[in-house]
Structure 1
Amino acid sequence: MKRISTSIAAIATALSLLVIGIGGGYWWGRSQHPIDGATAQTRRDKDAARGERQALYWYDPMMPDQHFDKPGKSPFMDMQLVPKYTDALASGGVRIDPTLQQNVGIRTAVVEVGSLVTELRVPATLTWDLRHESVVSTPVNAVVSRVFVKTPFEPVRRGQALATVLAPEWSSAIAEAQALGKAQSAAARSLQGAAQQRLRVLGVPAGGSRDGGVVLPSPQSGIVSEVLVREGQSVMPGTPLFRVNGTDTLWLEAAIPQAGSAGIGPGTKVQATVTAVPGKTFDGEVEALLPQIDPTSRTQRARIVLRNEGGQLVAGMFAELTLQAGEGPAVPLVPTEALIATGTDSRVIVVGADGSFQPVRVRTGRTGGGRTEILTGLKGGERVVTSGQFLIDSEASLSGALQRLEAPAATQPSAMPDMSESTKNPPPKAIPKYGEGMDGSAPSQERQP
């Protein structure tokens, strides 16, 4: 038993000495090869003197946040470290081999400047044009003696008799006017004007009299949409008796999605098709965009005047509308497929003059015809990637281009980071953990710019 305890103590002592030796050797190598601005700058000066590309640092592509001051093998993966050159950092873009671009099918398009014309297709319902609706009533107490139009939706002509009413006030005024009209004396003729004025004040219709009553004529040609009276019924002054609607024009009530209402207003041209009249298109225009949003469907009602050529359309029909929104100001336009939406913003991949790819944040506007308005971020004339941009976006994320894109302009790092402060006041060295570096080098705590 004592021999076993002695063996365990010997093994523990050996392991402790091994760890101390490795840690001390690592500390000594670290002290001989510090990762500071002076070492990195000296290496860059030597590269510049030889006319070679200047490497700012080396990194493991699987862990790009960890930087090394010289090449070698990655302590994390079984692979060589990759250099990050100053010219690539200055451009802030991503470079892809032309052969790889061809293999993955990367396509580009030029950003055009113009006005986006959008077409919107929505369903609608035909209703009566209330601007051409007339209500027939009497301004005096009366009794309906006869009704000539007894069923709704019956077509009528202007002046056609709708009903006959018995109204004592009207009858006495009409009889007085007729008697004065036949008088020959000068006094009677002077009262003729007053009698006619009384007829107008009482609202006596111009339909004449029939069967001892006064005829109520139709005020316009159209359709009697409502019959609200029957024979023998007594009516009070102002009681509606008939409702007559014109048919030359109809209203289309359409629900416009809130997102598509931009550019639509009074005067917007509209084309409507109705399944009941196949092969024919009816032209109209938006009369008003009602200032009210349906809170459930988030739509806005549009009132459209549609010309009813030939009287083929009737109220209640369903129609399909095609609206062309008015052209807005000229702005950059990109193919919609070029956009990369992240949920919080949108960006595109722009091809630089040197062939590198740079992510650019944009603010989008309307979309139509496969193109999208760019309100901020592009000026026009740039070349953007339309196919394979997600692969480039992933590479930009690894290389740190997206981090520089997300950083505020005032705090973005320059192409060559300022290492003066770290050179003047180097931080105290600490013994690293076992296995953290290799060959006397260790990961730097700098964040990739």
Structure 2
Amino acid sequence: MQKKQLARAALMVVAGAALLGAGYVAGTHRSTMGSESAAAATPSSDRTDPKTGRKVLYWHDPMVPNQHFDKPGKSPFMNMQLEPVYADEGGSNGIKIDGGMQQNLGIRYATVRRQETTEGFDAVGTTQFDESKADVVQSRVTGYIDHLYASAPMQRVTKGAPIASLFVPDWLAPQEEYLALKRGGVDDGMLAASHARMRAMSIPDGVIASLDRTGKAQTHITLSAPETGVLTELNVRDGAMVSPGQTLAKVSGLNRLWLVVEVPEALALQVRPGMSVDAVFAGDPAQHFTGHIREILPGISTSSRTLQARLEIDNADFRLTPGMLMRARIGAAKTVSRLLVPSEAVITTGKRSVVIVKN
């Protein structure tokens, strides 16, 4: 009986020692976990990079930028060191480009401005000769080209420049008759009739005046350019015979040109005469030419499906020549306030247009 009591007492002592050991281990583990949790929950007080002296907002893995860490170390996602994000970088908002990269890429800044602009659309046009200002050089008599001063079409000429020298044999007889009557001392009525006959034969007044002054008949006349421009037509050659009413040459001026704008068929109903047009030369966008649509040409081109609108543009300094490609902005009557940015600053992706703003 005594032995059983001793065994029971020994068993209780062993059990108590086991319980005390388990309690000690559990308490130690709980204390350690609590301190670690507190350390993890408490943010690091030292947020200054010792290498650069800059204040650090947080550390992150560049491959997973949305996950932030309070202390430096290795990334749990990739086998790489976490990188700091500094306070002077503005955090994760916006885009920051190194100054050296800006210089290498040629990045420039431009100011956005608000301006009243007219609604409209863009189109393409070409310059043409103003056919309403074209002049023709014609012969009023039958004759022969004695000398051709102009050499070929599209030659530039100035006002009064000789085009061709014309020999008119039919002018000889009436002039000799007029000189004979004048030498014979006939009355003024006969001289006036002879004078009227010469004018009826298209002898210029200058030739008749020279006949009275010199007493010598003239059978040659020089046809000259009526305006400064370009010989768009030259229909004769040396020695050719010409008849009354025949056009020898055509001179088109360059001080005013037509701009024929190709308007897409989908916008054809929006175009009206009188709408303003601001055109720029494709080779030099700094050159602006303005005007108003004078008329809408009837018919849609079957090849390009465009409607042609025509306007006059001033070319007094002869900067433009026919055939030049122009980009035209056709504006409406009312104005709208818009933000304007340079076209080279717009990034077009195909679905949208993006502009990067510097804060």
TM-score normalised by L of structure 1: 0.41
Q: Does 1:290 align with 2:292?
A: no
Once the 2 structures are TM-superposed, how far is the Cα of residue 298 of structure 1 from its aligned partner? 3.0
1:17-32 equivalences under 5 Å are none
One of 302, 305, 309 as aligned partner of 1:302: 309
User: Hey, what does 2:265 align to over in structure 1?
Assistant: 258
AA at the equivalent of 1:195? R
Describe the SS at the equivalent of 1:131.
helix
Identity of aligned residues (%): 27
Q: Does 1:219 align with 2:246?
A: no
AA at the equivalent of 2:315? N
> Which fold has the larger relative contact order, with Cα–Cα distance below 8 Å and residues 6 or more apart in sequence?
1
Q: Are the structure 2 counterparts of residues 188 and 291 from structure 1 closer, same or farther at C-alpha, using a change threshold of 3 Å?
A: same
Q: Are the structure 2 counterparts of residues 172 and 211 from structure 1 closer, same or farther at C-alpha, using a change threshold of 3 Å?
A: closer
Q: Are the structure 2 counterparts of residues 192 and 157 from structure 1 closer, same or farther at C-alpha, using a change threshold of 3 Å?
A: farther
User: Hey, what does 1:443 align to over in structure 2?
Assistant: none
Tell me the distance in 2 between the aligned counterparts of 1:307 and 1:277. 17
Describe the SS at the equivalent of 1:140.
coil
Once the 2 structures are TM-superposed, how far is the Cα of residue 236 of structure 1 from its aligned partner? 3.5
Tell me the distance in 2 between the aligned counterparts of 1:301 and 1:275. 19
AA at the equivalent of 2:291? G
Tell me the distance in 1 between the aligned counterparts of 2:126 and 2:231. 20
Tell me the distance in 2 between the aligned counterparts of 1:237 and 1:191. 23
Tell me the distance in 2 between the aligned counterparts of 1:237 and 1:190. 25
One of 313, 317, 324 as aligned partner of 1:317: 324
Q: Are the structure 2 counterparts of residues 135 and 259 from structure 1 closer, same or farther at C-alpha, using a change threshold of 3 Å?
A: same
Bigger Rg, structure 1 or 2: 2
1:105-144 equivalences under 5 Å are 117-144=118-145
Describe the SS at the equivalent of 1:123.
strand
Describe the SS at the equivalent of 1:310.
coil
Tell me the distance in 2 between the aligned counterparts of 1:120 and 1:219. 40
Tell me the distance in 2 between the aligned counterparts of 1:177 and 1:232. 29
Once the 2 structures are TM-superposed, how far is the Cα of residue 228 of structure 1 from its aligned partner? 2.3
One of 194, 208, 212 as aligned partner of 2:196: 194
Describe the SS at the equivalent of 1:188.
helix
Tell me the distance in 1 between the aligned counterparts of 2:125 and 2:199. 48
Tell me the distance in 2 between the aligned counterparts of 1:254 and 1:117. 18
User: Hey, what does 1:56 align to over in structure 2?
Assistant: none
Describe the SS at the equivalent of 2:232.
strand
Q: Are the structure 2 counterparts of residues 181 and 276 from structure 1 closer, same or farther at C-alpha, using a change threshold of 3 Å?
A: farther
Q: Kindly indicate whether the alpha-carbon contact (under 8 Å) linking 1:177 and 1:195 is maintained by their aligned counterparts in 2.
A: no
Q: Are the structure 2 counterparts of residues 299 and 140 from structure 1 closer, same or farther at C-alpha, using a change threshold of 3 Å?
A: same
Once the 2 structures are TM-superposed, how far is the Cα of residue 180 of structure 1 from its aligned partner? 7.0
Once the 2 structures are TM-superposed, how far is the Cα of residue 176 of structure 1 from its aligned partner? 5.6
Gapped runs of 5+ residues in structure 2?
1-116, 211-216, 336-359
Gapped runs of 5+ residues in structure 1?
1-115, 329-449
Q: Kindly indicate whether the alpha-carbon contact (under 8 Å) linking 1:128 and 1:315 is maintained by their aligned counterparts in 2.
A: yes
Tell me the distance in 2 between the aligned counterparts of 1:118 and 1:271. 12
Describe the SS at the equivalent of 2:261.
strand
Q: Are the structure 2 counterparts of residues 230 and 282 from structure 1 closer, same or farther at C-alpha, using a change threshold of 3 Å?
A: same
User: Hey, what does 2:275 align to over in structure 1?
Assistant: 268
Describe the SS at the equivalent of 1:279.
strand
Q: Kindly indicate whether the alpha-carbon contact (under 8 Å) linking 1:262 and 1:325 is maintained by their aligned counterparts in 2.
A: no
May I ask how many residue pairs the two structures share in their alignment?
210
Q: Kindly indicate whether the alpha-carbon contact (under 8 Å) linking 2:171 and 2:219 is maintained by their aligned counterparts in 1.
A: no
1:227-242 equivalences under 5 Å are 227-242=234-249
Describe the SS at the equivalent of 2:238.
coil
Tell me the distance in 1 between the aligned counterparts of 2:159 and 2:205. 12
Describe the SS at the equivalent of 1:280.
strand
